[in-house]
Amino acid sequence: MPEIITIDGPAGAGKSSVAKEIAKRYGYLHLDSGAVYRAIGVVCSERGVDLNDEKAVVECASDLSVELTDSGRVLVDGEDYSEKIRTLEAGKLASKVAKFREVREIVVRILRKVAKGRRVVIDGRDAGSYIFPEAELKIYLTASPEERAKRRYLELLRKGESASYEEVLREVLDRDESDKRREFAPLVVPEGAVVVDTTGKTFEEVMGIIEGLIKNK
C-alpha cells in the first residue's frame, strides 16, 4: 500500500470525507491541510490582523503553533479551534491567507513534520503537486459546482448554520476561482494524478473506485 496518498480538488468535492474513510479503513493518519489554513485565517483575523496585508499575515502565522492531533483536532497555541474553523466565513479567511507564498511555506513545514515516518492520507489543493510531489498515489477528486454547493449547503444546515444554497454556490465558485488563479501553488491536477469525478455518485461508489486505486498500488 502507498505510504502517502494525496487527495486534491476544488471545495466541496468530498476530499475530506474520502480521506477520513481511507484513514479509518486502512489505518492511515489523516492530514487535513485546509484546516491549517482555516486555523491561521481565523486566529489572525481574531487578532485584528488585516488579511490583505501580506507582511502582517506572515508575521502572525509565523508566531503560531498549529498542531493536528491523531484524533483530527486542530490546536492553535494549545487551544482547540476544531469547531470554530468549520464555518463558511472561516473558509473565506483560509482562502485569503492561502494566497501568500510564505504562509504556504509555513503550512507545508507543519504538514511535512507531522507526516514524517508515518503513513498519511492528506487532502488539500496542492497536496500532490507541491506538498508531497513524491506521493505514490495522487487523486484529484472533483464534481460539478452545483453538486459541490449542494453538499456544502446540506453540511452547513446539519451543523445548524444558516445559509442559502445560492450563497454557498457563489462561495464555492469564488473559492474555485481564487484557488486556481493563485500565483503560487495554485489548484491544478497534479502530474500523475487519477481524476475521479464524483458527480452523481454515492459515497460508497466513490470509495469503491478509490479502494481499487489503493489496492493496485
Q: Is 90 annotated as a binding residue?
A: no
Q: Is 9 annotated as a binding residue?
A: yes
As a whole number of angstroms, the distance between CA 145 and CA 213 comes to: 25
**Binding test (CB under 6 A) with ligand C5P, winner from 22, 110, 121, 125:** 125
Is residue 175 near ligand C5P by the rule CB under 6 A?
Answer: yes
Is residue 11 near ligand C5P by the rule CB under 6 A?
Answer: yes
As a whole number of angstroms, the distance between CA 26 and CA 119 comes to: 10
Q: Closest distance between ligand C5P and the C-beta of residue 24, in Å?
A: 19
Q: Please report, as residue ranges, which positions from 64 to 103 form the binding site for ligand C5P (by CB under 6 A).
A: 91, 94-95, 98
Amino acid at 139: I
Question: What residues contact 80, with CB distance under 8 A and at least 6 apart?
Answer: 73, 74
**Binding test (CB under 6 A) with ligand C5P, winner from 6, 7, 33, 147:** 33
Nearest to 32 by CA among 73, 4, 2, 60: 73
Which CB sits closer to ligand C5P, 11 or 60?
Answer: 11
Is residue 126 near ligand C5P by the rule CB under 6 A?
Answer: yes
Q: Is 45 annotated as a binding residue?
A: no
User: Angle CA(148)–CA(149)–CA(151) in degrees, nearest 5?
Assistant: 65
Buried b (16+ CB within 10 A) or exposed e, 180-197: eebeebebbebeebbebb
Q: Closest distance between ligand C5P and the C-beta of residue 215, in Å?
A: 26
**Residue 74 in contact with residue 81, Cβ under 8 Å?**
yes
Is residue 34 near ligand C5P by the rule CB under 6 A?
Answer: yes
Cα-Cα end-to-end distance for the chain: 6
Is residue 171 near ligand C5P by the rule CB under 6 A?
Answer: no
Q: Is 159 annotated as a binding residue?
A: no
Is residue 179 near ligand C5P by the rule CB under 6 A?
Answer: yes
Is residue 190 near ligand C5P by the rule CB under 6 A?
Answer: no
List residues forming the annotated binding site for ATP: 9-17
List residues forming the annotated binding site: 9-17
